[in-house]
Structure 1
Amino acid sequence: MTGPIPQPGPPTAVLALGSNLGDRLARLRAAVRALRALAMSEVYETTPVGGPDQDNYLNAVVLVPAAPARALLAAVRSAEEAASRVRTVRWGPRSLDVDVIACGELVSDDPEILIPHPRAHTRAFVCVPWLDVDPDAVLPGHGRVADLVAGLDASGVHRTPWSLRR
């Protein structure tokens, strides 16, 4: 005899967090609280990808309750504003960067918020932490995140001893 069929949890959205200015860890922790994260990855220190010369980032991935694309965008921008995010240089240093990576099977071609994130499948600093929080993750249109990580150069992605819980 088998037990009850496991029911899927509530739909979630995947957000990637990054900071390389000021108290990076405190900014990530504040974002976790502001975004009401349901689950979170380990914290990784990563070398910057693209953009001008800049300090290393702290990166993490969190799962938050699913919401319509524009609502996710509003929550992300609110968290960034609370961290005094200023958008001056594309891919430049930032106090807090929050990207919506995926939201279930949702596809948004809204120029303000593309879902899934169009470059997530190429970013080890997103995919490696995502596996921490969801080892069975799938990036719509690109496949299993574990398979993506296997094909990425993750040499600049290093787990830290720090936690987002506090």
Structure 2
Amino acid sequence: MSDQPPVRVAISLGSNLSEPMVQITQALIELGQLPSTRLLAQSPLYQSRAVGPEQPDYINACALLETQLAPHDLLDALQALEQQHQRVRLEHWGPRSLDLDLLLYGQASINTERLTVPHAYLRQRNFVLVPLHDIWPEALLPSGESIASLRANCTMDGLSPITPQANHKE
């Protein structure tokens, strides 16, 4: 265990390749298994239109974690999970088997070459704001903006919740 006190963090998950629902479901389990980390909540799954070049729709979700990992150590762990899911970084907005983004790290504001927290596009992406609000509606950005107010001002355009299908036969 780290000597650092636990911090609440939000992670966004996205996938549009290699069975996206399976990728997201498995990654949620794996996030809870990271060292010095506990999964507190996971959002419902959503389907969203892809940003960037023409490609399949995404499956998206968010996870709320409590971790003692330092920000860059958590980033390393997230990138290792992406690699386990055969993530290939061919183009910035391209399709991917798994994309894990650190959205919030407590109230920290981080801007390094490798990491920007809060995530640079958090305010602009409904496929991030909606599931983030589902799991951490009281969250505040370091600027004082609330996730609830950002969510109230975003549309559901191109985003739809995925309703789980019943696993029974009639």
Class of the TM-score when normalised by the shorter of the 2 chains: 0.7 to 0.9
Kindly tell me: are residues 137 and 160 of structure 1, through their superposed partners in 2, closer, same or farther at Cα, counting changes over 3 Å? Answer: same
Contact 1:43 1:162 in 2 (8 A): no
Contact 1:46 1:156 in 2 (8 A): yes
The normalised TM-score by structure 1 is: 0.86
| 1:47-105 CA distance string (max 9 Å, x none) | 112x2101100000001223311111111101101110000011110000000000111
The residue aligned with 1:104 is 106
Contact 2:14 2:59 in 1 (8 A): yes
Contact 2:87 2:99 in 1 (8 A): yes
Contact 2:107 2:140 in 1 (8 A): no
- 2:63 maps to amino acid: V
1:38 counterpart SS class:
strand
Contact 1:17 1:59 in 2 (8 A): yes
Contact 1:121 1:139 in 2 (8 A): no
Q: Give the distance between the partners of 1:57 and 1:44, measured in 2 at CA.
A: 8
The residue aligned with 1:3 is none
Q: Give the distance between the partners of 2:66 and 2:127, measured in 1 at CA.
A: 22
Q: CA deviation at 1:142?
A: 5.9
Contact 2:10 2:104 in 1 (8 A): yes
The residue aligned with 1:79 is 81
2:95 counterpart SS class:
coil
- 2:150 maps to amino acid: L
The residue aligned with 2:26 is 30
CA RMSD of aligned residues (A): 1.6
Contact 1:18 1:58 in 2 (8 A): yes
2:12 counterpart SS class:
strand
Q: Give the distance between the partners of 2:164 and 2:115, measured in 1 at CA.
A: 30
Map 1:1-166 to 2 at 5 A: 11-36=7-32, 37-49=39-51, 51-66=52-67, 67-141=69-143, 143-162=145-164
The normalised TM-score by structure 2 is: 0.84
**Post-superposition, which runs of at least 4 consecutive aligned residues in structure 1 deviate over 6 A?**
none
Deviates more, 1:15-24 or 1:29-38: 29-38
- 2:9 maps to amino acid: A
Equivalenced residues, count: 153
Q: Give the distance between the partners of 2:155 and 2:55, measured in 1 at CA.
A: 20
Q: Give the distance between the partners of 2:87 and 2:144, measured in 1 at CA.
A: 30
Kindly tell me: are residues 35 and 111 of structure 1, through their superposed partners in 2, closer, same or farther at Cα, counting changes over 3 Å? Answer: same
For structure 1, the 5+ residue unaligned runs are 1-9
1:129 counterpart SS class:
helix
Q: Give the distance between the partners of 1:160 and 1:138, measured in 2 at CA.
A: 27
2:116 counterpart SS class:
strand
Contact 2:14 2:61 in 1 (8 A): yes
